[in-house]
A and B are shown apart, each in its own frame.
Chain A
Amino acid sequence: MSQDQLAELSRLLYSPVTLLLYVSAAIVCLYSLTTRAGLATTRSGAPAGAKLQRLGIALAWTAVAAHVAHEIVRGLAQDRLPLGNMFEFTSAMALTGALAGLIYLTIVRKKPELVGFVMLGAAVVVSSAMLTYADPGPLMPILDTWWRTFHVSVIVTAAGIFTVGFLFNGLHLLRDTAERGLAAARAVPTGRSTVGAAHIKDLAPGVPGDDLDSGARNPDEALSGRVAPDEDHGSTSLPVEAERRAMRTAISPLKLAVGTFLGTSTVSWVFVATPTTTLSEGLTRALTVNLTLVAVALIARWFVPFLPQASTLDGLAYRTIALGFFAWTFGVIAGAMWAEQSWGRFWGWDPKETASFLTWIAYAAYLHARATRGTRGRGAAWIGIGAFAVLMFTYYAVNLVFVGLHSYAGLS
């Protein structure tokens, strides 16, 4: 095949194929989440959603495989590793995030019911990469070195893992709010608990109330710990449907939408400020990004009753971010080593270096906050959300708006 055909094929593999696979995996997995939860009322036989979930996981792996195929074909089309411009970074970030999330949730942590959210996130990132699409092409000679492969792949992996961590953080906050709301609906005072109402024994029987690490300690986490508690938990419980409603109403959709919009705007203004795009195009992009994420947040809100307990999500977020932090530290060090090799100085406070340092600080603050009593739980989760905004700022703003040595977005 000629280079052009390969380029065309890689494009096809990316835009309809991979994207659609991610979307359908997300839909199937999320749907199976609701059916498995419905098992609470049909407690005989195999879980109703188990088959569906297996299908969803299979779709997820297929999507990842298609994504890998895209990367390979694109690499062949340009005779180099596809890690040279912003489109390729974003695409790789989605891939590493999806892969890391998939491995973590299905193999390490055995929480396959959450894969849907990872797929949803991957679909969003994959489509956001289309905003910075660039055709396959050669590399600047300064980038043409194994140092780039090393530094960029580590950094991109870290960013992908952080994205999954952000996802868990966001779900944690949603679920935590819902649990507090539910507890309030039951007139159980939450006191000043920092880890959410999950630890009120009444809400989720069988879960040790003093376990700050993770509610998933419950060995038989099958259903009672994972989904909203069902009817026969005692007289204080509400019926399932009412409980779900109570959980959802605890999260004001208006507040969520406006908050998400404003939160997203802290990064999406970059598209308006990008010198190479026109104002109307920039506005369209910013609005698209904002509204998509608002929609995703509202979808996530609907699924809140089917989520694992807030403390479990908190633990998942912590574990993912800790791994991402290690990778990021490693990637920044690798970057400094490359800079010494290539620019003759290991650190020069170039905007990108400064921003990656800022990201490092933000995630360090998250890890410290989580280890500090008083800021553990919601406080730490908010810092984690902020840290992700900083990461996105580092990624988009510094590449697109500020001029520095890292201006390689490939968009000019």
Chain B
Amino acid sequence: MSRTDSAAPPEANPQVRPPRDGGDGPLGFVWSSVVMGWRWLVRMRTALYLLGLLGVETLIATIVPQEPNVPATVDAWRAGTEGPGTAVSGLIDLIGGYDVYGSPAFLALLLLLFLSLTACLIPRIRAWVRLVRHSRPPLTRNAGRQEVVARLSTTREVDEAHRSAADLLRGSRWRVRVEEARGADGVVAAGPPPQVAAEKGLWSREGGSLLFHLSFYVLLAAIVFGQLLSFEGQRAVVEGERFADTPVSYWTYGPGRWWSEASHSGWILDLEQFHVDWVRDPLAPGAGQPTLFRSDVEVTHGDGSVEQTVIEGNRPLVVDGMKIHQLDWGYAPFVQVEVDGELVYENFLTATATDGGHFRAAVKAPAADPDVGLSVFFYPYAPDNEAGEPVPTGAPFADDPLLLFQMFRGDLQLGRTAQTINELDTSELESAGGAWLRPGAEVDMGDGVVVRFVELRRWVGFQVSARPQIPYLLLASGLLLAGLWPALYAYRRRLWVVAERDASDGRTIVTVAGRAFQRPQTFDDEHAALVERLARQLDATPYPADGATPAPVGVEPGPGGGRGPDAVSEEMT
């Protein structure tokens, strides 16, 4: 196959492959479209366009709130209460902008990218394998005409000079080819002279680039594998309570398609205490910032062994192959509601933090008739003023807890309308007044309803996950980086050492010539260092002795020397 010189005008190059005729008719059309499509995919420009499109999609995903991440914000954007308004919102919905990474467009783009990658890689891998299997460092006919040349003069024999040079180069991890003298007298009439030829970086640069690109397949496989085989569940636990690892005990349960419920070993987590603290001095730097989140837990493993340990923000707990993370926390007031002396509600609320510094929760007591609902505002720090009335503050520490609530009677519509545990659907409810409570206090709301704030604890939201794909992801990342480094930093170089007998004074003239495909700037130094080491080994002196550079070099490229079309690259791919 003839070589292509892509720097030359197109007419100077032969057509890479004559267009294959797939015959007439619909099949021929399909075939030619496939060929056209494939050729389009192989082009680097296509890959660039696809990368650009991926960038645009990602930009949309950065700017527009994503439904899987912040569903509430997306709802607000759709309703027009936040964001650019309903018109734009509809447009975003149309292009799937609220769930970019789940949209068909993104999947199609990903498919195209991987197709393009495959199309680019197949010929490159073949070429690389050929290179590794068959290439030998090429010989030079005229070392003096290479780009970088130095000459030494020594008393050693030609063969000895070649041997030393070969050892030296092998020691510096060059691939070396020694071409001995062919004739009996060491004189070869035609062809390259006896020499040591060496090269470096030819495999590793391209090989690194291939490894880098191949690692994306590993990455993709690991992600798909993970989607199928992983598991993630959430559960809030109040201090002093426990929770067991069974599918039904999670509040949200998200198994992959191939996740087996038998993988739950039934370990038990006891939350003994949750510690949280802040910078309390309002004048100190970082006032109000949290300084501590820690759960003291006791874990009973599936095999019955018990372990006392802690879970912190950056220290998840691994139990029977599952990771337990401490995700969020809040206050858990224990609230009782009595109607006509009968206990209709008794539970820990899981009050969640709001932007305003207070916590929200709801009490839903369908056992009463009519239903009782309390919309609860919890203020951790609400000290009394002079009049003995509590003043709510935004401080998060529970020094003076206050529970404010608004009572509703009527129909809670449980199970009929969408409502979270901390939200009341008040459409069928009537307000029945409000009150405030300190821990241990109770209040009579009239109509036989008594609300009691028994005690205050905290709750911690735990996330439990099993991700078997992690080792493969690490492998993919490792390959990615391992490939990227040589792809960027392995420089292709060739070197020749030609020793010749100088008949006039009986000394041996050693020519050390080199050529750099990338970063020629650093090659000069490398070359100089090599020449120096060789000179030391051979007890050689610079030649000509006055140190003047020999005949100007590099002006006219010799065969295989100079900057041919394949020398122009600083290519990364």
Contact = CB atoms under 8 A, between A and B. Distances in A.
Interface string B482-497: 0011001100000000
A213 B570 contact: yes
Interface in B4-27: 6-7
Interface string A348-359: 111100110110
Contacts of B7: 210, 373
Interface in A235-261: none
A141 interface: yes
A136 B477 CA distance: 35
Contacts of B569: 213, 371
Interface in B56-89: 58-59, 61-63, 66, 68-70
B521 interface: yes
B289 A140 contact: yes
B465 interface: yes
A329 interface: yes
B568 A361 contact: no
B47 A322 contact: no
B570 A315 contact: yes
Contact of A349 (B66, B323, B481, B485): B66
A205 B572 CA distance: 29
Interface string A322-358: 1101100110010011101111111011110011011
Interface stretch (A121-129, A289-297, A362-370): A362-370
A371 B480 contact: no
Contacts of B481: 326, 329-330, 333
A118 to B, nearest CB: 18
A402 B63 contact: yes
Given A140-B290, A371-B570, A374-B45, A349 B54 contact: no
Interface stretch (A182-190, A214-222, A277-285): A214-222
B34 interface: no
Contact of A368 (B51, B290, B463, B470): B51
Given A214-B520, A371-B44, A344 B316 contact: yes
B285 A137 contact: yes
B312 interface: yes
Interface in B541-573: 563, 568-573
A398 interface: yes
A349 B45 contact: no
A344 B521 contact: no
Nearest to B292: A141
B37 interface: no
A256 to B, nearest CB: 26
B314 interface: yes
B54 A402 contact: no
Interface in B502-544: 518-521, 524
Given A138-B289, A322-B488, A355 B45 contact: no
A42 interface: no
B520 A217 contact: yes
Interface in A393-412: 393-394, 397-398, 402-404
Given A138-B285, A208-B563, A371-B573, A345 B62 contact: no
Interface residues of B, number: 63
A323 B519 CA distance: 14
A344 B465 contact: yes
A247 to B, nearest CB: 25
A251 B279 CA distance: 55
Contacts of B524: 219
A214 B521 contact: yes
Contacts of B474: 337
Nearest to B463: A344
A397 B286 CA distance: 23
A386 B314 CA distance: 35
Given A140-B289, A141-B291, A344 B323 contact: yes
B286 to A, nearest CB: 3
A109 B521 contact: yes
Size bin of chain A's contact surface = 35 or more
A343 B326 CA distance: 8
A147 interface: yes
Contacts of A373: 6-7
A375 interface: yes
Contact of A372 (B48, B292, B314): B48
Given A318-B570, A349-B61, A349-B66, A138 B465 contact: no
A142 interface: yes
B293 interface: yes
Contact of A358 (B44, B58, B470, B518): B58
- Kindly name the residue among A208, A344, A350 whose own CB sees the greatest number of chain B CB atoms within 10 A: A344
A323 B572 CA distance: 12
- Kindly name the residue among B55, B101, B474 whose own CB sees the greatest number of chain A CB atoms within 10 A: B55
B51 A364 contact: yes
A357 B489 CA distance: 23
Contacts of A140: 289-290
B313 to A, nearest CB: 4
B393 to A, nearest CB: 17
B39 to A, nearest CB: 16
A141 B48 CA distance: 42
A365 B48 contact: yes
B286 A137 contact: yes
Contacts of B518: 213
A340 B48 CA distance: 31
B480 A329 contact: yes
A370 B570 contact: yes
Given A139-B289, A373-B7, 19 more contacts: A138-B285, A138-B286, A141-B293, A213-B518, A213-B520, A214-B520, A214-B521, A322-B489, A323-B488, A340-B470, A341-B316, A344-B316, A344-B325, A346-B470, A354-B61, A358-B62, A375-B48, A394-B62, A403-B70
Interface of A: 7, 78, 109, 135-142, 144-145, 147, 208, 210-214, 216-217, 219, 315, 318-319, 322-323, 325-326, 329-330, 333, 336-338, 340-346, 348-351, 354-355, 357-358, 361-362, 364-365, 367-375, 390, 393-394, 397-398, 402-404
20 contacts: A137-B285, A138-B286, A144-B314, A211-B568, A315-B570, A323-B488, A329-B480, A341-B315, A344-B316, A346-B467, A349-B68, A351-B62, A361-B55, A365-B51, A365-B55, A367-B573, A368-B47, A373-B6, A390-B59, A404-B69
Interface of B: 6-7, 44-45, 47-48, 51-52, 54-55, 58-59, 61-63, 66, 68-70, 101, 232, 279, 284-286, 289-293, 312-316, 323, 325, 327, 463, 465, 467, 470, 473-474, 477, 480-481, 484-485, 488-489, 518-521, 524, 563, 568-573
